[in-house]
Amino acid sequence: MFTGLCAFPLTPFKDEQFDPVAFARIINNLTDAKVDAICAMGSTGLYPYLNNDERRTVAENAVALADGIPVMAGIGALRTRDVLHNADIVQRAGVNAVLLAPMSYHHLHDEEVYALYEKVTANLSVPLCVYENPNATNFTFSDELYQAISRLPNVAAVKIPGMPFGDKVQGEQRLARLRELVPDSLSIGVSADKFGVAGMRAGCDAWHSVLAGLFPKTVQCLIQAVRDGQGESAAMASDRLSPIWQLFVQSKGGLRVMATAADILGVCEGNCLPHPLKPLTGPARQELEAQLTSLQLD
Amino acid sequence: MFTGLCAFPLTPFKDEQFDPVAFARIINNLTDAKVDAICAMGSTGLYPYLNNDERRTVAENAVALADGIPVMAGIGALRTRDVLHNADIVQRAGVNAVLLAPMSYHHLHDEEVYALYEKVTANLSVPLCVYENPNATNFTFSDELYQAISRLPNVAAVKIPGMPFGDKVQGEQRLARLRELVPDSLSIGVSADKFGVAGMRAGCDAWHSVLAGLFPKTVQCLIQAVRDGQGESAAMASDRLSPIWQLFVQSKGGLRVMATAADILGVCEGNCLPHPLKPLTGPARQELEAQLTSLQLD
Overall average pLDDT of the A157-175 stretch: 97
Query: Taking CB atoms and an 8 Å limit, are A276 and B138 in contact across chains?
Result: no
Query: Taking CB atoms and an 8 Å limit, are B275 and A105 in contact across chains?
Result: no
Contact A33, A294 (CB under 8 A): no
User: Which residue from A minimizes the CA distance to B112?
Assistant: A276
Q: Alpha helix (H) ranges present in chain A? A: 20-33, 52-65, 80-92, 110-121, 134-137, 143-149, 168-181, 196-202, 216-227, 231-240, 242-250, 255-264, 282-295
Query: Taking CB atoms and an 8 Å limit, are A107 and B135 in contact across chains?
Result: yes
pLDDT digits (tens, 9 = 90+) for A66-116: 999 999 999 999 999 999 999 999 999 999 999 999 999 999 999 999 999
Q: What are the residue numbers of the active site of B?
A: 131, 159
Residue of B85, B106, B250, B281 to mutate when probing chain A, most A C-beta within 10 A: B106
Going by C-alpha positions, the residue among B9, B1, B6 that lies closest to residue B214 is B9
Query: Taking CB atoms and an 8 Å limit, are B136 and A106 in contact across chains?
Result: yes
Overall average pLDDT of the B204-209 stretch: 98
B53–chain A nearest CA distance, Å: 14
B275–chain A nearest CA distance, Å: 5
Which SS3 state, helix, strand or coil, does residue A137 take?
A: helix
Residue of A105, A118, A138 to mutate when probing chain B, most B C-beta within 10 A: A105
Sequence-ordered list of residues with C-beta below 8 angstroms from that of A111, at least 6 positions apart, any chain:
B278
Structure confidence at residue B173 (pLDDT):
97
In this predicted structure, the answer to whether residue A225 has a pLDDT above a threshold of 90 is yes
Query: Taking CB atoms and an 8 Å limit, are B255 and A106 in contact across chains?
Result: yes
**Mean pLDDT in chain B?**
98
- Cβ contacts (< 8 Å) between B253 and chain A: which residues? 106-107
Overall average pLDDT of the B252-268 stretch: 97
Burial of residue A269 (number of CB atoms within 10 Å: 0-12, 13-18, 19+): middle
Strands B37-40 and B71-74: parallel
Peptide bond before residue A70 is cis, with ω within 30 degrees of 0: no
Q: What is the ipTM of this complex?
A: 0.97
Contact B56, B64 (CB under 8 A): no
State the CATH class of domain A4-230: alpha beta
pLDDT digits (tens, 9 = 90+) for B112-160: 999 999 999 999 999 999 999 999 999 999 999 999 999 999 999 999 9
User: Which residue from B minimizes the CA distance to A107?
Assistant: B252
User: Which residue from B minimizes the CA distance to A102?
Assistant: B276
Sequence-ordered list of residues with C-beta below 8 angstroms from that of B40, at least 6 positions apart, any chain:
B9, B11, B58, B59, B62, B71, B72, B73, B74, B95
Chain A residues within 8 angstroms (CB to CB) of chain B: 16, 43, 48-49, 78-81, 102-103, 105-109, 111-113, 115-116, 119, 135-136, 138, 251-253, 255-256, 274-278
Cα separation, A140 vs A40, in Å, equals 23
Query: Taking CB atoms and an 8 Å limit, are B276 and A80 in contact across chains?
Result: yes
- Cβ contacts (< 8 Å) between B138 and chain A: which residues? 138
| Closest CB to A109 among B111, B116, B278 | B278
- Cβ contacts (< 8 Å) between A105 and chain B: which residues? 43, 48-49, 103, 136
Backbone angles phi, psi at A153, to 5 degrees: -60, 145
First to last CA, chain A: 22
Per-domain boundaries in chain A? 4-230
pLDDT range class, residue B77, cuts 50, 70, 90? very high
- Cβ contacts (< 8 Å) between A252 and chain B: which residues? 106-109
Cα separation, B273 vs B46, in Å, equals 9
B91–chain A nearest CA distance, Å: 21
pLDDT digits (tens, 9 = 90+) for B13-32: 999 999 999 999 999 999 99
pLDDT over 70, % of chain B: 100
Amino acid at A13: F
Structure confidence at residue B247 (pLDDT):
98
Structure confidence at residue A72 (pLDDT):
98
Amino acid at A62: A
Structure confidence at residue A212 (pLDDT):
98
Peptide bond before residue A276 is cis, with ω within 30 degrees of 0: yes
Backbone angles phi, psi at B266, to 5 degrees: 80, 15
Query: Taking CB atoms and an 8 Å limit, are A81 and B105 in contact across chains?
Result: no
In this predicted structure, the answer to whether residue A168 has a pLDDT above a threshold of 90 is yes
| Closest CB to A111 among B112, B138, B278 | B278
Structure confidence at residue B249 (pLDDT):
96
Is A44 labeled as ligand-binding? Answer: yes
Backbone angles phi, psi at B110, to 5 degrees: -55, -45
Residue of A79, A133, A256, A273 to mutate when probing chain B, most B C-beta within 10 A: A79
Structure confidence at residue A1 (pLDDT):
86
Which SS3 state, helix, strand or coil, does residue A288 take?
A: helix
Topology of domain B4-228 in CATH is TIM Barrel (3.20.20)
B42–chain A nearest CA distance, Å: 12
Query: Taking CB atoms and an 8 Å limit, are A106 and B277 in contact across chains?
Result: yes
DSSP letters, B217-277, are HHHHHHHHHHHTT-HHHHHHHHHHTHHHHHHHHHTTSSHHHHHHHHHHTTSSSS--SPTT-
pLDDT range class, residue B48, cuts 50, 70, 90? very high
Residue A298 CB coordination number (10 Å): 13
In this predicted structure, the answer to whether residue B224 has a pLDDT above a threshold of 90 is yes
Cα separation, A226 vs B291, in Å, equals 59
**Quick one: DSSP state of residue A246?**
H
Going by C-alpha positions, the residue among A102, A127, A120 that lies closest to residue A112 is A102
Active-site pick, A117, A146, A159, A194: A159
| Closest CB to A81 among B16, B43, B113 | B16
Residue B229 CB coordination number (10 Å): 9
Structure confidence at residue A113 (pLDDT):
98
pLDDT digits (tens, 9 = 90+) for A34-66: 999 999 999 999 999 999 999 999 999 999 999
Structure confidence at residue B1 (pLDDT):
86
- Number of separate helices (H) and strands (E) present in chain B: 13, 10
Structure confidence at residue A260 (pLDDT):
98
Residue B294 CB coordination number (10 Å): 10
DSSP letters, A21-45, are HHHHHHHHHHHHHT-SEEEETSTTT
Residue of A138, A257, A277, A281 to mutate when probing chain B, most B C-beta within 10 A: A277
Overall average pLDDT of the A138-153 stretch: 98
